[in-house]
Amino acid sequence: MKRAAFALVTLAASTVALGQQTAPRTPAPPRTGATRQEQTAPRMSETDKLTLINDCTRQVLAAHPTVPEKDVKAYCEDKVKSYSFPR
């Protein structure tokens, strides 16, 4: 039981580390008269989502080889989904 809890904690920590590796964006200068549609962020393409899931899965499995791949993949899919569709 302790091993499973440790694996989940380390899995969460590695995901936080993955999220911090992205390059910071510089804010674009504000536009005047922008419509609501122009102000919404574009959705990720399916290719982008699959790339993020595969990268996440590869990195987490490299850091935690004892965690089952299906669990890691489900975890990564959930994380990508949370980034794709902000609440």
Question: What is the C-alpha separation between 84 and 87, in angstroms, rounded?
Answer: 10
pLDDT at residue 64 in the model: 96
Using pLDDT thresholds of 50, 70 and 90, give the confidence band for residue 76.
Answer: very high
Question: What is the C-alpha separation between 49 and 37, in angstroms, rounded?
Answer: 22
pLDDT at residue 75 in the model: 96
Pseudo-torsion of CA 43, 13, 74, 21, nearest 10°? Answer: 30
Return mean pLDDT, the chain: 75
The pTM of the whole model exceeds 0.75: no
pLDDT at residue 49 in the model: 92
Report whether pLDDT(24) > 80: no
